[in-house]
Amino acid sequence: MGVKALRSPKRQPIEKALGIRFGGEELYVWAFTHRSFAYENGGLPTNERLEFLGDAVLGLVVTDIIYRAFPDLPEGQLAKLRAATVNMNVLAEVARELGVGDAVRLGRGEELSGGRDKSSILADTLEAVLGAIYLDKGLSRAAALVRRLFEPRVMEAAGRGAALDYKTSLQELAASSLGGMPSYAIEEEGPDHAKRFTATVSVAGTAYGSGKGRSKKEAEQQAAREAFESLASDRMVTGTGDAGTDPVPSPPPAD
Between 165 and 114, the higher pLDDT residue: 114
pTM for the whole thing? 0.65
Residues 25 and 128 in one domain: yes
55 flagged as catalytic: yes
Domain end position, chosen among 159, 178, 209: 159
Domain contains 124: yes
pLDDT at res. 248:
42
Choose from 10-19, 94-103, 217-226, 232-241 the range with maximum mean pLDDT. 94-103
pLDDT in tens, 110-125: 989 888 999 999 999 9
For 40, other C-beta atoms within 10 Å of its C-beta total 15
CA 4 – CA 95 distance, rounded (Å)? 25
Burial class (CB in 10 A: 0-12, 13-18, 19+), 48: middle
Domain contains 102: yes
Residues 83 and 170 in one domain: no
Domain end position, chosen among 159, 178, 213: 159
Active-site pick, 51, 110, 127, 220: 127
pLDDT at res. 172:
75
Domain end position, chosen among 159, 190, 209: 159
Domain region containing 105? 10-159
Residues 135 and 99 in one domain: yes
Residues 154 and 188 in one domain: no
| pLDDT for residue 159 is more than 80 | no
First-last CA distance in the chain: 55
Residues 113 and 215 in one domain: no
Residues 113 and 32 in one domain: yes
pLDDT at res. 235:
53
pLDDT at res. 178:
81
Residues 133 and 186 in one domain: no
pLDDT in tens, 42-81: 888 999 999 999 999 999 999 999 999 988 888 878 888 8
Active-site pick, 51, 55, 110, 220: 55
Q: Are 180 and 171 in contact (CB under 8 A)?
A: no
Residues 114 and 21 in one domain: yes
Domain contains 110: yes
| pLDDT for residue 157 is more than 70 | yes
Residues 155 and 208 in one domain: no
Residues 144 and 185 in one domain: no
Q: Are 144 and 134 in contact (CB under 8 A)?
A: no
How much of the chain, in percent, has pLDDT values that exceed 70? 84
Q: Domain tally for the chain?
A: 2
Residues 86 and 59 in one domain: yes
pLDDT at res. 197:
94
Residues 93 and 207 in one domain: no
CATH number at residue 227: 3.30.160.20
Domain contains 133: yes
